[in-house]
Amino acid sequence: MNAIELARAIPKAELHIHIEGSLEPELIFQLAQRNAVSLAYPSVDALRAAYAFTDLQSFLDIYYAGASVLLTAQDFHDMAWAYFLCAKADHVIHAELFFDPQTHTARGVPMAAVIEGLRSACRQAETELGISSALILCFLRHLSEEEAFATLEAALPFREHFIGVGLDSSERGHPPSKFQRVFARCRELGLKLVAHAGEEGPPAYMREAIDLLKVQRIDHGVAVMQDAALMEELARSRMPLTVCPLSNLKLCVVKDLREHPLKKMLDAGLCATVNSDDPAYFGGYMNANFEQTVQALNLSRDDVVQLAKNSFEASFISEERRRACLAELERVMAR
Ligand code: ADE
Ligand code: ZN
């Protein structure tokens, strides 16, 4: 079995997937029809043709428009269930899903519809597909910290249904420090903490996320390549970085996948993982990310296994579940 075949077959965890970014154009049109929402594009093909991004913001504009078809708990369930079926095909055995409640509550969708719809898909994934999962509520960083506090308040009645909070949306000009107080409150509440940093922003934003927000993982973090001291610190502390290669390519963070820093990150001892970010928009789910990255960077079988191990090391799962995931990895490798 070569490295690509191995990458396809091994069990893995996905830790950086915006569930709204898994909405395929076909499902967007189905839900638009179901909910009588009008779309700016006349057809599935026309919508897909608009997926030519120049940077993060050019993507986010289309991503938020796509999410406008989600209204009911059933919609959120259907979206997440479609994702779990793709995850199963790619041998994802654990997934931590980001969701952006502000995108929905701003349109009058109740927080309960968002969270209960997603939770029911998570439960079904556990019982029918054997995939464990958890939800992470993301604050939109282009909005104010006050709005983040209001969102946290609205979500607290559903506290047992999400394990942590994250920070996403437009990075440049919205440093982690803007959300220091709300993250401190989330920490008091016992929530896990993650944040997007160093996707388009500078390594200084990664430092802020760690020092000021006290995050336990950094989403993306490819800007670590610009700061050798930071790289050394993060390798020593095994701070996980949830890297998304196809996203970085589609949003022009890298010009060519062959220039992606993932291999250098692994060689430096960083706890880097591979993830799909917004698979419906960036050209593929987990295995597409693995296959294309292994090919472009000539990753070895050992690199591939390290990436899978890192994904379980970085997961917010019980030690018992971690042992089971690692045992499953060993079982598949022995085959
Ligand atoms: N929201 C969805 N995908 C995102 C990304 N790649 N970066 C920041 N915010 C996002
Ligand atoms: Zn992301």
Q: Which residue has the tokens 């929905």?
A: 104
Compute the radius of gyration of the chain from its Cα atoms.
19
Q: Quote the distance between the C-alpha of residue 188 and its chain's center.
A: 24
- Give the integer Cα–Cα distance in Å for 225 and 95: 27
- Is 116 a member of any domain? yes
Looking at all shown ligands, the one closest to residue 63's CA atom is 1
Residue 335 has pLDDT above 90, yes or no: no
Q: Quote the distance between the C-alpha of residue 245 and its chain's center.
A: 12
How far, in Å, is the centroid of ligand 2 from the Cα of 277?
A: 5
% helix, strand, coil for the chain, step of 5:
60, 15, 25
How far, in Å, is the centroid of ligand 1 from the Cα of 320?
A: 31
pLDDT grade, residue 268 (50/70/90)? very high
* Strand intervals (E) in the chain: 12-18, 92-99, 132-140, 164-168, 192-197, 217-220, 240-243, 271-274
pTM of the model: 0.98
pLDDT grade, residue 16 (50/70/90)? very high
- Which of helix, strand or coil describes residue 188? helix
- Is 27 a member of any domain? yes
> Ligand 1: which residue has its CA nearest to atom 8?
169
Residues in the chain: 335
- Is 14 a member of any domain? yes
- Is 160 a member of any domain? yes
Beta bridge partners of 322: none
- Give the integer Cα–Cα distance in Å for 82 and 34: 17
Residue 180, pLDDT score: 98
The number of the ligand 1 atom at minimal distance from the alpha carbon of 199 is: 7
Residue 258, pLDDT score: 98
**Catalytic choice (20, 199, 208, 328):** 199
Question: In this prediction, what percent of the chain has a pLDDT beyond 90?
Answer: 100
Residue 67 has pLDDT above 90, yes or no: yes
| Burial class, 229, CB count within 10 angstroms (exposed 0-12 / middle 13-18 / buried 19+) | exposed
Whichever domain contains 11, its CATH number is 3.20.20.140
pLDDT grade, residue 212 (50/70/90)? very high
CB atoms within 10 A of CB 283: 16
CB 277 within 8 A of CB 244: yes
- Is 334 a member of any domain? no
Residue type, 217: R
- Give the integer Cα–Cα distance in Å for 182 and 229: 28
> Ligand 1: which residue has its CA nearest to atom 4?
169
- Give the integer Cα–Cα distance in Å for 68 and 192: 28
- How many CA atoms lie less than 13 Å away from 137 in the CB half-sphere? 29
The number of the ligand 1 atom at minimal distance from the alpha carbon of 168 is: 9
- List, for residues 292-329, the tens digit of each pLDDT value: 999 999 999 999 999 999 999 999 999 999 999 999 99
- Give the integer Cα–Cα distance in Å for 271 and 262: 10
The number of the ligand 1 atom at minimal distance from the alpha carbon of 251 is: 6
User: Pocket around ligand 1: residues whose beta carbon is below 6 Å from it?
Assistant: 18, 21, 56, 63, 168-169, 196, 199, 247, 277-278
| Burial class, 45, CB count within 10 angstroms (exposed 0-12 / middle 13-18 / buried 19+) | exposed
Sheet order of strands, 271-274 included: 12-18, 92-99, 132-140, 164-168, 192-197, 217-220, 240-243, 271-274
- Give the integer Cα–Cα distance in Å for 13 and 315: 7
- Is 335 a member of any domain? no
The number of the ligand 1 atom at minimal distance from the alpha carbon of 244 is: 6
Beta bridge partners of 94: 13, 132
Largest CA distance in the chain: 53
CB 193 within 8 A of CB 213: yes
Residue 277 has what DSSP assignment? B
pLDDT grade, residue 15 (50/70/90)? very high
- Is 7 a member of any domain? yes
Residue 81 has pLDDT above 90, yes or no: yes
Report, as an integer, the average pLDDT of 36-58.
Answer: 97
Residue 313 designated active-site = no
Residue 30 has pLDDT above 90, yes or no: yes
- Is 252 a member of any domain? yes
How far, in Å, is the centroid of ligand 1 from the Cα of 35?
A: 25
The pLDDT mean for the chain works out to 98
pLDDT grade, residue 236 (50/70/90)? very high
> Ligand 1: which residue has its CA nearest to atom 1?
169
How far, in Å, is the centroid of ligand 2 from the Cα of 189?
A: 24
> Ligand 1: which residue has its CA nearest to atom 9?
169
Domain count, the chain: 1
Looking at all shown ligands, the one closest to residue 67's CA atom is 1
Range of the domain at 261: 3-329
